[in-house]
Amino acid sequence: MPKLNIPVLHRVIPLADMEQVVANCRPASFTRLTVNDEDMQERVDGIFAWFAQDVQAMKAVLRDSRAFIAGSLALTLFCPVRFEPSNADIFVPHTHIETVLHHLTTTQSLVIESTSVVNRQLDVPLDPTRDERITTYGAGILEIRRLRRGEKCVNVYTFLDTSPLTVNTDILNFTWATLLMNYVTADYACCAYPSMTFLGRGLYHMNRWTDPTFPGDNSHHLLNTYAERGFELSRHPSGWYEGLEDRCEGGWSCPFEPRRFGDGGCLTVPAIGGPVSAVGRTWVFGGVSRSIHDW
């Protein structure tokens, strides 16, 4: 068996889509596994480099504050569709917001443009199995601050800190599309629906998408934006099926499957940096009538 050429691996693997790299993460060679993990970490660093002048300092602050990056910027890490995100979305527990803002406005040279008080924490039910009924845009968000440095825009979302020992991503349970159920921390990144995301596909929650609190005069502009980028959106996986024999039979991509970040349906990269078990609230994405299973 020929020996692996490590310099060649370092040149080839960064050119591959995430799906190809993940498939390559089941090697018989420890050398290839090491190169894969190094590439994964470089890709995570690339998310920070999109807006941070000092990547390592930014990672240190987010690590200490248990903050994370989500939104379309995090999506670029996992999807095969190539597009330029319009901003970076950083989610910060309210107990650490001053530290993160100080770092962004000093070390990273960003300037605060606006602050919006949302205060929709009361929209979050105590019973996580009822999360799918929450349709208000920004549920769980306390404040939103927009910062800018030249053409780089960063939105900082503040939420109530309820898990002081772990990264709390429960706020993502209320998003309007599965394509946005990804997050990037200082040490790892997680994708909730990789089988769909790898294909550039995502489900959208109809009731959240049509809720009057959704930003903009017409929520259709977001579907159009993602469609123009090359994504396919559907209310249910059956929207991509060819016939009734391909109907949804449950599983990780089903909108009615109870899910948690870090469960068997998620992808965490690099795997050694992520949580060892599922964390946070259980969610049921929903957004479509269950009668679709009654064919």
Indicate the length of the chain as a whole number: 295
What one-letter code names the amino acid at 44? V
Where do the domains of the chain lie?
6-293
DSSP-derived secondary structure letter, 16:
S
- Residue 272: pLDDT band (50, 70, 90) is low
Give the C-alpha separation, 36 to 95, whole Å.
Answer: 35
Q: Which residues fall within 8 angstroms of residue 295, CB to CB, at 6 or more apart?
A: 244, 247
Summarised one tens digit per residue, pLDDT across range 26-81 is 544 444 445 467 778 888 899 999 999 999 999 999 999 999 999 999 999 998 88
277's tokens: 């078990």
Query: Average pLDDT of the chain?
Result: 81
Taking only the tens place, the pLDDT of each residue in 33-43 is 454 677 788 88
Contacts 24+ apart (CB under 8 A), 45-50: 46/77, 47/73, 47/74, 47/76, 47/77, 47/184, 47/189, 48/184, 50/85, 50/88, 50/152
12 vs 81: which has the higher pLDDT:
81
| pLDDT score of 6 | 47
Q: What is the DSSP string of 54-96?
A: SHHHHHHHHHHHT-EEEHHHHHHHH-S-----S-EEEEEEGGG
- Do 141 and 213 meet the contact criterion of CB atoms below 8 Å apart? no
Q: What is the pLDDT of residue 15?
A: 44
Tens digits of residue pLDDT in 136-188: 888 888 999 999 999 999 999 999 887 666 788 888 988 999 999 999 999 99
The whole-number pLDDT of residue 150 equals 96
Percent of the chain whose pLDDT exceeds 90: 39
φ/ψ bin of 118: left (φ > 0), alpha (ψ from -120 to 50), beta (otherwise): alpha
Helix H or strand E segment including 105: helix 97-106
Distance of CA 175 to the CA centre of its chain: 10
Share of the chain above pLDDT 70, in %: 76
**Residue 107, token pair as written in the block:** 């070390």
- pLDDT digits 0-9 by tens, 77-92: 998 888 999 999 999 9
CB atoms < 10 A from the CB of 73, how many? 22
* Highest mean predicted confidence (pLDDT) among 52-66, 109-123, 229-243: 52-66
Cβ-proximal residues to 110 (8 Å cutoff; 6+ apart), any chain: 51, 104, 147, 148, 149, 152, 154
The SS3 assignment for 21 reads helix
